[in-house]
Chain A
Amino acid sequence: MRLVRRALPRWAEVAVLPLVNVALAFVIVGVIVAVIGVDPLHALRLLVAGALGSSEAIGYTLYYTTNFIFTGLAVAVALHAGLFNIGGEGQAYIGGLGCGLAILALDHLLPAWATIPLAILAAALFGAAWAAVPAWLQAWRGSHIVITTIMFNFLAAALMVYLMVNVLIAPGSMTPQSRSFTSAGKLPQVHEVLAAMGIQVTPSALNLSILLAVACCAGVWVFLWHTPWGYALRTMGHNPDAAVYAGTDLRHMTMLAMCLSGGLAGFVGVNELMGVHQRIVLDFPAGYGFAGIAVALMGRSHPLGIVLAALLFGALQQGGAELAFDIPSITREMVVVIQGLVILFCGALANLPRPWLQSLFALLSSPRVRGEVPAQRAEGS
């Protein structure tokens, strides 16, 4: 007789399984680092020091975390609706465009307290609009959303290059970037705010976008689990037939889910352009959109999990940059490899450790742990 495997307890399902999955991904990363000829433990030490070693490092880690929260939430909201949005990259790009355009139009006219909310709104609207087209194509024309969102990433990149080179470029500039925003279009940095409160920290790129990210987490949580629309959205994700039965228009719900998703992704533009660059630049999404998939899968599409996963990825991003600086044979793309592996192990191979964990739990919860169970196993094999 085999050892009876039972379903994992809920806490193990929520906490242990993802941790084991992430651990597996990092074991593989360690192997790759070793193949390149670097001691993985040495690399890990450098990475941790680079991510958390100083208040500046922590500031940068949190700044990266902010982006990962936005894109992670974006992917998660779509996933709850059963949609796979891999267009976060393009939505972030266009969201940034909206944010930048709003500021360029308003920063000479309005004070910061008026410009900033309007720019944030514009980022969400532009991001949502860029997601709305693939959503419409999926809902009304039956196009595969994975392919269309990917195509829209390429289209966003082409559009932005065109606009930056031909339209938005600052007069006299040699590089394709817009004019600088005035102070009305600048989101306060966290170190400035803290300094105003009498706390001195080393300046970093961390700005108040992180509060927006936290607010988005709370908003998504309330929306998904405590409103009838969130309820309908999750119903569609689990069981579209049941959603239709319940009176949900799947096409409208697809639009709603994707627009929310695109809007969240668009906030990357707020953090990057209004928070850091102070102008519209090229290539600022830098892979955050794709990384959002890893963040969402690792965080099991729950805001709390996403915050934790985003912190990990933020630390990796910051620590990875320091690591690449210290060890020339390691590049920043190592972080991309880690993202890929996390998607693999937390997503497609999520069940890999399950049987093993189930056996472990069965063993631990058995009243007669010693003696009898191993004998049973031997008999079964």
Chain B
Amino acid sequence: MSPISTVRAIELSGIDKSFGNVHAVRGVELAIEKGAITGIVGENGAGKSTLMSILYGLYRPDAGEIRVDGRRVEMEGPHEAIARGIGMVHQHFMLVDTFTVLENVVLGAEGGPLLAGGLAAARVELARLGREFGLAVDPDARVADLSVGEQQRVEILKVLYRGARILILDEPSAVLTPQETDQLFRILGALKERGVTIILITHKLREILAVTDQVCVMRQGRIVAERRTAETTAEELAELMVGRKVRLDLAKAPPQRGPVLLSAEHLGLVDRRGTRRLDDINLALRGGEIVGVAGVSGNGQTELLQVLSGIRAPTGGRLVVCGREIDAARPADPGEMRDLGLAHVPEDRLRQGLVAAFRAAESSILGYQKDPPFCRHYLIDGPAVTAHCAQLMERFDVRPREPALRSSGFSGGNQQKLVLAREMAQQPSVLLVGQPTRGVDIGAIEFIHRELVKRRDAGCAILVVSVELEEILSLSDRIVVMFGGRIVGDLPAANADERTLGLMMAGEHA
């Protein structure tokens, strides 16, 4: 089967898993070498996380066999995996925010019905692990007060505290700066030296090449290739991931800049608890340009979109959108912003951009339900709404083309296209786009990027927030970098590269 493994920590054979109509994992055969770092790469939705969740006992496979250290295991649940020495660091942290680090670490491994003894023992063990692997975290700090990088360390400590010999990391760098990622990889190196088997799930090729010993490529639920890392290249892996040659850069003409359509001056936002979320934001957006906002998630990008789109009122400074002045005393709600000619594709389409339970046609007028032609004489015109939705679907190639289908019945990419289509159909002069291609397959990514550039060339001012540096770099004409609620860098895209941006994203001015 696999030509490269010597001693196998884990063998998966014939693993199959479906969710409803989605066949997520199809007959996977995989062997993980003991004491090595194995990378699993693939696009969003390729089945990497599902496969690892099966290995960790979170999902039960429909078919197939799992062997750990050569012995067949029925993974009844995570407790089974933990008992076999498997630990997993999830993409979304499994930490209780209100607990201290210590409490989080002992949860599930308390060492007895009373807490006192277990906590004391854990404190000692935590200090030891911290020294040995460079994973120091204050055991009494509340998790909610820790930075994302520190929280990830707590996750790793949790796994090590349980004596895991096999460590699975699911997209660990998604929330880290490039520099923090490098630090994580040093820790992984230290773990490997002590004999820990590591499985690294990622869609970033740079990381695979930097840290793994072998790599498996997944596509559409299947393992399509296994390679020694030393014997492969980024181009080969990219091609394997997508199944065809990929063009990583986007062809676009130089921007024809028009007048300033949106400008922020000393914009600030302080939340209800008194925490400063946005601090002295100065930004001018011109027609005909795409400005990319780069940054590690959680550094104010979400709040920036909220304030610019009218969802939250600024608490300080001034915003001018298409001539209308907005400040704390004169806020504008999202409805008024739309009337001004501002459209907004939110970061999380399922949470904000559409209503899962609504028919696609209903979702296709979200935010415009009071406007003609959808609403006449205070009544919503059903046929007009359906026709509008059908038109959007045609233009943006949304499949299936069924306006009567529930919004939740579409794939992520098609939902995103529907939201984009709705917002672009209004011919906005300012378009805010959050995470334009999150969870979208590669074909749709290219389409969405081309559409954004088309609108730019039509004179629209576009602001794109994305955590994918590659996307920011290929799409933007100008890039601003956010850190800690501030704009810490503002440069033409031509002068930017991953390293400079990475340093800015970590708060170190380049």
A: which residues have CB within 8 A of B?
1-2, 6-7, 222, 225-228, 231-232, 234-235, 238-239, 241-242, 244-247, 249
Contact = CB atoms under 8 A, between A and B. Distances in A.
B380 A245 contact: no
B412 interface: no
**Which one of A228, A239, A241, A242 has the highest number of Cβ atoms from chain B below 10 Å of its Cβ?**
A242
Interface string B291-314: 000000000000000000111000
A234 B407 CA distance: 15
Interface string B342-354: 0010101001111
B65 to A, nearest CB: 15
Given A238-B355, A239-B355, A245 B346 contact: yes
A244 B334 contact: yes
Given A227-B379, A227-B380, A247-B334, 18 more contacts: A1-B62, A1-B63, A2-B62, A6-B21, A225-B380, A226-B379, A226-B382, A227-B375, A228-B375, A231-B380, A234-B358, A238-B355, A238-B357, A241-B348, A244-B334, A245-B309, A247-B310, A247-B333
A249 B20 contact: no
A245 B370 contact: no
B174 interface: no
Secondary structure of the A side of the interface?
Answer: helix
B367 A241 contact: no
B351 A242 contact: yes
Contacts of A247: 310, 333-338, 367
Contact of A228 (B356, B369, B382): B369
Interface of B: 20-21, 62-63, 309-311, 333-338, 344, 346, 348, 351-358, 362, 365-367, 369-370, 375, 378-380, 382
**Which one of A1, A7, A238 has the highest number of Cβ atoms from chain B below 10 Å of its Cβ?**
A238
Given A6-B20, A239-B351, A245 B375 contact: no
Nearest to A244: B311
A233 to B, nearest CB: 11
Given A6-B20, A247-B333, A247-B334, A242 B366 contact: yes
Secondary structure of the B side of the interface?
Answer: loop
A234 B355 CA distance: 10
A234 B359 CA distance: 12
A235 B378 contact: no
A184 to B, nearest CB: 34
A45 B311 CA distance: 59
Given A245-B346, A247-B310, A235 B366 contact: yes
B380 A228 contact: yes
Contacts of A227: 375, 378-380
A132 B347 CA distance: 34
A238 B380 contact: no
A225 B381 CA distance: 10
**Which one of A2, A222, A231, A247 has the highest number of Cβ atoms from chain B below 10 Å of its Cβ?**
A247
A292 B118 CA distance: 52
A20 to B, nearest CB: 22
Contacts of A6: 20-21
**Which one of A1, A238, A245 has the highest number of Cβ atoms from chain B below 10 Å of its Cβ?**
A245
Contacts of A222: 379
Contact of A246 (B63, B366, B375, B379): B366
Nearest to B312: A244
Contacts of B356: 238-239
Contact of A232 (B337, B348, B369): B369
Contacts of B336: 247
A244 B305 CA distance: 13
Smallest CB-CB A-B distances: 10 pairs: A247-B335, A247-B334, A246-B367, A228-B369, A245-B352, A228-B370, A231-B369, A241-B352, A238-B355, A238-B357
A226 B344 CA distance: 25
A238 B336 CA distance: 23
Nearest to A236: B355
Contacts of B309: 245
A222 B63 CA distance: 50
